[in-house]
Amino acid sequence: RGEYIVGSRIFPISVYCDFNIIKIGQPTLYTVQCLLPMNVFNEKIFTIIWFWLVFLTLTNLKSVLLTILRNLYSKRERFKRHILVKRFVFDYLSADGILILRLISENISDLLTSE
């Protein structure tokens, strides 16, 4: 009949079962209480898996947020560095300094020039 007595609605432990027994040509309907011990085990496993999925979801959300924040911070730092390099080149080096650096980089490796 689908009625549960003990346990949760999803994993009932005790339910009513209907079955027919034929006696002397007449079917007789019996309703008895049936126990479902496997549902106790299933409910525990389901609960463990549910908490595991919640934990994984929270961990993934944390990871995504940290990745987004790191990327935003990294882009901001690159932008600041780019602005500082431009200021240094235009304010301090000017055209003479840039010419000297280009002449040095043609004769020596770029690594040594950058130092």
DSSP output for the chain = ---EEEE-SSSEEEEEEEEEEEETTEEEEEEEEEE-HHHHHHHHHHHHHHHHHHHHHHHHHHHHHHHHHHHHHHHHHHHHHHHHHHHIIIIIIHHHHHHHHHHHHHHS-HHHHH-
Total of domains in the chain: 2
Say whether both 27 and 42 belong to one domain: no
Instruction: Please say if the pLDDT value at position 106 is more than 60.
Output: yes
Would you state the pLDDT for residue 55?
98
Q: Name the residue range of residue 26's domain.
A: 1-35
Would you state the pLDDT for residue 2?
53
- When mean pLDDT is compared over 61-70, 78-87, 97-106, the highest value belongs to 61-70
Which residues are registered as beta bridge partners of 63? none
Say whether both 79 and 57 belong to one domain: yes
Would you state the pLDDT for residue 1?
55
pTM of structure:
0.51
Say whether both 10 and 52 belong to one domain: no
Q: Which residues have C-beta within 8 Å of that of residue 49, sequence separation ≥ 6?
A: none
Would you state the pLDDT for residue 64?
96
Which residues are registered as beta bridge partners of 48? none
Tell me the per-residue pLDDT of 3-60, one tens digit each, with 9 for 90 and over: 555 667 777 888 888 888 888 888 888 888 888 888 888 888 999 999 999 999 999 9
- Stretch 54-72: mean pLDDT: 94
Say whether both 99 and 81 belong to one domain: yes
Say whether both 31 and 77 belong to one domain: no
Give CA separation, 84 vs 23, 68, 89, 104, 112, in Å.
97, 24, 9, 22, 21
